[in-house]
Amino acid sequence: MFLSVFCFGQDSLKTIVAEPGDGILSLLRKQGVDPYEVFDEFVLLNNDNLRDSVHLIEGRTYIMPAVKLDTVAIVDSLQIQSKEIKELESVSYDIFGEKHKNVIEKSERLKGTIYYLVSGHGGPDPGAMGIYAGKAIAEDEYAYDITLRLAKELLSHGAKVYIIIQDPNDGIRDDFILEIDHDEVAYLDKTIPLNQVARLKQRVEIVNDLYKSNKGNYQRLIVTHVDSRSEGQNIDVFFYHHEHSKNGKRLAQSIHKTFEAKYKKYQPNRSYSGTFEDRTSLYLVKKTHPAMTFIEIGNIRNAKDQVRIVDPDNRQALAKWISEGVLLDYEGE
């Protein structure tokens, strides 16, 4: 599927000032635009003027994507200058849900790469549990949503992506409270076992079989979890790797470096304490064959960490930051 992309001079595009309480979705809705159709284009247009890569800054002026007939206009900084007219390919993936299914090509920076994405728990096991706004929240739902958002980012840069744990009907969700269900399956519609060892073994076998079938290609694995600690323990995002994997260490280090830079830029008064370290005792770290990183997003029981997890804008920022770390890792080859 192709979208015609019309690019105009910057002074011909509509601008809007962010008001208190505005988010990208609400700002676009107030302008009478379907936010899900133009969200990515808005971020591309205003990337240098967003906090945490996805949050509006009150009082700042933002460029609105132009919509012509039934097509979406994408304008990036180079196109604004040159007033080029070009056509971008948009590929539809049902797994992301109706509102987020279209993936628009941003670059080919990851062309030729393969990424396996595993979100923690799922099926009969919801993983770590917490309470937010009086309602139960589960690790597997939030890890899965971040994983889908990460998959979409990687696909937009030309990567081939295998989503190992899948939910047939969730898609990317823009809610704070993600409804808990148990219908997740493993890659190619395999039932997820209740037994923990059997469940982990199933994931290892799926990833290792795919790794073998894609032998000779650039392959990496990213596993996403949400931790559970005491309610009073606020933690940052942590990254683990196999102690003997040079490539896995570099992947974890590259994403960690990206997070450090983001915190320094967007939260200069707050130090970042997340680390990257070897954790070969973890089953998936020890048993899987691709170079990999295992990510702990935060403490699902801590009120500050919950904001990082439940806010859909924050989940999008996490996915975007991880993808930027992936790009840093790959392009440093």
Answer for the pair 126, 199: CB distance below 8 angstroms, yes or no: no
Residue whose structure tokens are 């597997």:
140
Question: 224: closest CA among 282, 144, 138, 155?
Answer: 144
Indicate whether 163 and 264 sit together in one domain. Answer: yes
**Can you give the pLDDT at residue 76?**
41
Question: 293: closest CA among 258, 326, 252, 332?
Answer: 252
Domain finish residue from 34, 62, 92 = 92
Indicate whether 131 and 76 sit together in one domain. Answer: no
Domain finish residue from 31, 61, 92 = 92
Indicate whether 164 and 176 sit together in one domain. Answer: yes
Domain finish residue from 92, 121, 150 = 92
Distance (Å, whole) CA 71 – CA 37: 10
Indicate whether 198 and 308 sit together in one domain. Answer: yes
Is 300 a residue whose pLDDT tops 90?
yes
Indicate whether 62 and 139 sit together in one domain. Answer: no
Q: What is the CATH number of the domain that holds 284?
A: 3.40.630.40
Distance (Å, whole) CA 296 – CA 318: 11
Indicate whether 203 and 322 sit together in one domain. Answer: yes
Query: For the chain, what is the domain count?
Result: 2
**Can you give the pLDDT at residue 198?**
98
Burial class (CB in 10 A: 0-12, 13-18, 19+), 304: exposed
Answer for the pair 221, 286: CB distance below 8 angstroms, yes or no: no
Look at 28-37, 123-132, 201-210 and tell me which has the smallest mean pLDDT: 28-37
Burial class (CB in 10 A: 0-12, 13-18, 19+), 16: middle
Is 212 a residue whose pLDDT tops 50?
yes
Indicate whether 104 and 64 sit together in one domain. Answer: no
Q: For the residues 289-309, what does the mean pLDDT come to?
A: 95
Indicate whether 263 and 218 sit together in one domain. Answer: yes
What the block records as the tokens of 198 is 């059997």
pLDDT in tens, 58-115: 999 999 887 643 333 333 433 433 333 344 467 999 999 999 999 988 899 999 999 9
Indicate whether 44 and 137 sit together in one domain. Answer: no
Q: For the residues 223-246, what does the mean pLDDT come to?
A: 90
Domain that holds residue 45: 2-92
What the block records as the tokens of 200 is 């982990």
* Amino acid letter, 184: E
Indicate whether 278 and 206 sit together in one domain. Answer: yes
The model carries a pTM of: 0.84
What the block records as the tokens of 170 is 């969730």
Indicate whether 243 and 122 sit together in one domain. Answer: yes
Indicate whether 194 and 253 sit together in one domain. Answer: yes
Distance (Å, whole) CA 125 – CA 130: 14
What is the per-residue DSSP string for 85-151? EEEEEEEE-GGG-TTT-EEE----TTTTEEEEEEES-BTTB--SEEEETTEEEEHHHHHHHHHHHHH
